[in-house]
Structure 1
């Protein structure tokens, strides 16, 4: 806690309340986080709508989600995972 207080800028000191908290700065940070959380929820809703659109167009949503995961990986990571899955399939007689 002391570390956070020591990180406050000098111009915030005049807005402090008892306890050494820069109230205006704290309020600003909290409000920014709340706004970002609202935006994240809105984006989540937008993504859900796109998945619903894909499903309505006849696409398999699970396959799309798998493709999204794969696209985030490097080629080496994808190859490594595919080799491991093949090894496990072979071990299970599949």
Structure 2
């Protein structure tokens, strides 16, 4: 009986192919989502919103409140040290 796992050099070819194909499908989905996000940013810009600020807000919302507060305090401290107040 032949080995159906398609082993080559100790590597299960069918299993490897399955992983590669799954990753390729997910990469394609990711590209589609990235295109959708780009479209939303373009729509926001078209209605007058500043996209750079929206990106900053998105980044800040991902952070924990304490981390965000610490960064804001450091930013204020550095601005004061540079006379930017």
TM-score (norm. length: structure 2): 0.90
2:58 is aligned with 1:68: yes
- Structure with the bigger RCO (C-alpha within 8 Å, sep 6+) is 1
- 1:27-82 per-residue CA deviation (whole Å, 9 max, x = no partner) reads 11100000011111111100000000000010000110000011011111111011
Distance 1:75 1:18 in 2: 51
2:34 is aligned with 1:53: no
Match of 1:24 among 9, 14, 24: 14
Q: Which residue of 1 aligns with 2:72?
A: 82
Q: Considering only aligned residues, what root-mean-square deviation do their CA atoms show, in Å?
A: 1.2
Offset at residue 17 of structure 1 (A): 2.8
Which ranges of structure 1 fall in alignment gaps of 5 or more residues? 1-12
2:83 is aligned with 1:93: yes
Which ranges of structure 2 fall in alignment gaps of 5 or more residues? none
What count of residue pairs does the alignment treat as equivalent? 82
Q: SS of the counterpart of 1:93?
A: coil
